[in-house]
Structure 1
Amino acid sequence: MAEKSSIFDMIGPVMIGPSSSHTAGVVRIARAAIRVLGSLPTHATITFYNSFARTYEGHGSDRAIIAGLLDFPTDDKRIREAFEHAKAANLQYTFQGIGNASTMHPNTIRLQLRDERTGSEVDVIGQSRGGGVIRIVEVDGFPCDFSAGLHTLIIDADDVKGSIAFIADVIAHDDCNIATMNVSRKGKNQVARQFIEIDSALSDVALEYLRHLRWVHQVRYIPAIE
């Protein structure tokens, strides 16, 4: 006798299909990446790895990633015509697939983005985990692990004693709770990058204070993505 399904078995993200992994998650990876960049890109090199490399055209992941780079939400009907909207927005992009990256999650995407208007560039690697859930696992060569489902701070600061505790104290005094923190550096006494997920929005005053610390080089703030 076949098992009965219930409405609870079918609940997932509100999205344009066919698959939460191949569309909703892909859109969210791109929307996270453009917030790290700080603007909509003018150029994008998009690399699909492993199972994505074999299925991104047939499952609509190519349209989904372009829609995300244009900041369309997961339930936006324009996803189906994303290529036409990209042309109108003068977004130049290329796709490539690598099907045998054994060290990477099956549904991995790398986005190398550039905004020629500002000169900004970013290199983001994200994973689509199913159900629209994502993890951003690398930014500009710095390992990280954040979902973009919470408010996220990305802080570049000198690798000095007490810097992590000081920043955590500033966040606490703004009545924000730290959910996760990941700190990465490329060498001792080199610039370290902190990825901090917080449960609530940080105030403009706290952000400006962090930006004006002499040993802080850059602060990027990414509000939670729906």
Structure 2
Amino acid sequence: MVGPSSSHTAGAVRIGRVARQLLGCQPDQVKVYLYGSFAETYWGHGTDLAITAGLLNYDTDDERIPQADVDAEEAGVDVDWLKGKGNGPHPNSVKISLCSGEKQAEILAASIGGGTIAVYELDGFDVQITGEYPTLAVTHTDSQGVLAAMTALLSQEGYNIGYMDVDRKGRSGSAMTVFELDSTPSDSSIEQLKKLPNIIDVTLIDLT
């Protein structure tokens, strides 16, 4: 990793990458809300550079991390740094809202030590993912049979589901299911998921 801190740098890079991958492309406008220790010490620990590097899809050992702010400006990525209101779920918490044109995404996550992260929200849905495994975030309608169809397809395609989490906006409303898999799904498998009834969108988050 590129330092100085596994929590404030390496973990922050990973959070930025999750946000970038959830959006599905390089953002052009980003608002970063920092909480707790992140808000108090981000400048000195390079957290701002680390999150920006993640938004550019740099990995934790990328030597370009110290110049990520310059790279972002050259790439047309505008990042605003703000102090979040209230307390986050962890002392090193951050909410990132980002967009590219009309595409938008938002995550709430924390760097919990040793470069590891916990993601608590994706696009307003309460989830629990770690980024340690290839993860599918599937937005769908809250309809009967959707979960069974998704798990059956993943099983047929040969993927082992290590963890699954579901949140919904209300009965018969929109929902999100996240699958942590033991191996990275192929483009073909993702396309098959997208074609299932009642599926709105499928996003792969893969930091491996």
Render the CA deviation track for 1:75-99: whole Å, top value 9, x for unaligned: 1121111111111111111101237
Which of 63, 68, 84 in structure 1 is aligned with 2:49?
Answer: 63
Which of 172, 187, 203 in structure 2 is aligned with 1:204?
Answer: 187
- The 2-side partners of 1:173 and 1:89 are apart by 41
Residue 114 of structure 1: aligned partner: 99
Cα-Cα RMSD: 1.3
Taking the TM superposition and a 5 Å limit, the aligned residue runs for 1:40-79 are 40-79=26-65
Structure with the greater alpha carbon radius of gyration: 1
Q: CA deviation at 1:222?
A: 2.2
Identity, % of aligned pairs? 38
Residue 213 of structure 1: aligned partner: 196
Which of 2, 14, 17 in structure 2 is aligned with 1:31?
Answer: 17
Residue 133 of structure 1: aligned partner: 116
Matched, 1:193 2:158: no
- The 1-side partners of 2:27 and 2:189 are apart by 28
Count of aligned positions: 208
SS at match of 2:45: coil
**Runs (5+) with no aligned partner, structure 1:** 1-14
- The 1-side partners of 2:184 and 2:47 are apart by 31
Q: Is the 8 A contact 1:24 1:132 kept in 2?
A: yes
Q: CA deviation at 1:60?
A: 0.8
Q: Which amino acid aligns with 1:190?
A: G
Q: Is the 8 A contact 2:146 2:197 kept in 1?
A: no
SS at match of 1:184: strand
Which of 174, 177, 192 in structure 1 is aligned with 2:157?
Answer: 174
- The 1-side partners of 2:84 and 2:50 are apart by 18
- The 2-side partners of 1:80 and 1:206 are apart by 37
Q: Which amino acid aligns with 2:170?
A: G
Render the CA deviation track for 1:53-104: whole Å, top value 9, x for unaligned: 1010111101111111111111112111111111111111110123751x52
Render the CA deviation track for 1:139-182: whole Å, top value 9, x for unaligned: 11100111122111111112112211221111111111101111
Render the CA deviation track for 1:163-203: whole Å, top value 9, x for unaligned: 11221111111111101111000100101110111101223
Q: CA deviation at 1:43?
A: 0.7
SS at match of 1:80: helix
TM-score normalised by the chain length of structure 2: 0.95
Q: Which amino acid aligns with 2:95?
A: R
The 1:51/1:100 distance shift into structure 2, 3 A limit, reads: farther
Q: Is the 8 A contact 1:43 1:113 kept in 2?
A: yes
